[in-house]
Amino acid sequence: MPSPIIQLEGIRRIFPMGDETVEALKGIDLTIHEKEFVAIMGTSGSGKSTLMHIMGLLDSLSEGRYNLDGEDVSAISRDKRAEIRNQKIGFIFQSFNLLSRSSALENVELPMLYRRPAISGRREKALKALEMVGLENRSDHEPRQLSGGQQQRVAIARALVNEPPIILADEPTGNLDSRTGDDILGLLTSLNEQGITIIIVTHDPDIGGKAKRRIVLRDGNIEQDETN
């Protein structure tokens, strides 16, 4: 039995909105194990992105406990969170979010620049990551010289390069046509087979169907949690 890598207990996230508050997450209990492939689904505004931000340590929780890879990260400093993001989590966004003035290779190198302690052989590692996504011959292209699918592959290479145990993807196929989307999904599936835990937020029932586990959110609560 693989060990749990993400453990959420009674997670609440409350946003102040003027005089009122919005409770985006209303007490989430969730355990995700190593090497799982999880799809998070639900209607718009149900709290999918908020949950993903909390799991990715981009956002802090209002209440509850979060255990990541055996470490309590419920209340840690900004810099500590940056360090954990750098080493344990790869992000993939709907809008790719590559640095527009940097080449594909430089984009992939970026997470290693922020790595402490510093590591050597960054160029080779970046090239290898680009190879894994099939873009080794596009390494000196800037984002605007690449198609949407290629840009998302560069983003995946960037997410991979520090060899994190977890990849979080928020609607990674949202800006792509269905065939390209399938390619990206295939890539993520193969990464999962190599042992990386993948958590993907999606509206697409097809993608949800391909995931081993589906979690459906509704109004900040888990409505359904099923495993194939």
Partner 1 sequence: MELYLTAFQQAISALWAYKGRTLLTMLGIVIGIGTIIVMVSIGQGANQAIQDQINKMGTNLLYAISGSSKKGGVRGGHGSQPSLRLKDIDAIRRLCPSIKEISYQINGAVQSVAENKNWGSPLQGSVPAYASITSWTLQEGEFINDRHLKTVANVAVLGSVVAENLFEPGSSVVGRKIRLKNVPFTVIGTLTSKGRTPDGRDADDVVIIPYTTAVRKIMGRALPGMVHFILVSAHSKELVPRAKWEMEIALRQSHRIPENGDDDFIVGTLDEFADAATESTAIMRLLLIAVASISLVVGGIGIMNIMLVTVTERTREIGVRMAIGAREKDILTQFLVESITMSVVGGILGTVIGIATSRVISEIAGWPTIISPESIVIATFFSGLIGIFFGFYPARKASRLDPIDALHHE
Ligand X SMILES: Nc1ncnc2c1ncn2[C@@H]1O[C@H](COP(=O)(O)OP(=O)(O)OP(=O)(O)O)[C@@H](O)[C@H]1O
By the rule CB under 8 A, 91 interacts with partner 1: yes
Quote the least distance from Cβ 87 to partner 1, whole Å.
Answer: 7
State which residue, 41 or 68, has the beta carbon closest to Mg ion.
Answer: 41
By the rule CB under 6 A, 46 interacts with ligand X: yes
State which residue, 61 or 161, has the beta carbon closest to Mg ion.
Answer: 61
By the rule CB under 8 A, 93 interacts with partner 1: yes
How many residues contact partner 1, by CB under 8 A?
Answer: 25
Name the nearest CA neighbour of 25 among 49, 56, 57, 58: 49
SS (H, E, C) the chain: CCCEEEEEEEEEEEEEECCEEEEEEEEEEEEEECCCEEEEEECCCCCHHHHHHHHCCCCCCCEEEEEECCEECCCCCHHHHHHHHHHHEEEECCCCCCCCCCCHHHHHHHHHHCCCCCCCCHHHHHHHHHHHCCCHHHCCCCHHHCCHHHHHHHHHHHHHCCCCCEEEEECCCCCCCHHHHHHHHHHHHHHHHCCCEEEEECCCHHHHHHCCEEEEEECCEEEEEEEC
d(CA 178, CA 196): 24
Quote the least distance from Cβ 149 to ligand X, whole Å.
Answer: 21
d(CA 4, CA 29): 13
Footprint of partner 1 on 116-155 (CB under 8 A): 118
Binding region for ligand X (CB under 6 A) out of 48-56, 63-71, 95-103, 141-149:
48-56
Quote the least distance from Cβ 170 to Mg ion, whole Å.
Answer: 6
Q: What is the dihedral of CA 81, 86, 90, 91, to 10 degrees?
A: 60
Quote the least distance from Cβ 22 to partner 1, whole Å.
Answer: 14
Quote the least distance from Cβ 53 to partner 1, whole Å.
Answer: 6
By the rule CB under 6 A, 137 interacts with ligand X: no
Binding region for ligand X (CB under 6 A) out of 37-45, 95-103, 114-122, 205-213:
37-45
With beta carbons less than 8 A apart as the criterion, state whether 169 and 163 touch.
Answer: no
By the rule CB under 8 A, 58 interacts with partner 1: yes
Footprint of partner 1 on 27-56 (CB under 8 A): 53, 56
State which residue, 150 or 210, has the beta carbon closest to partner 1.
Answer: 150
Residue closest to Mg ion (Cβ): 49
User: Which residues of the shown chain bind Mg ion in the complex (CB under 5 A)?
Assistant: 49
User: Which residues of the shown chain bind partner 1 in the complex (CB under 8 A)?
Assistant: 53, 56, 58-59, 78-79, 82-83, 85-87, 91, 93, 97-99, 101, 110-111, 113-115, 118, 158, 162
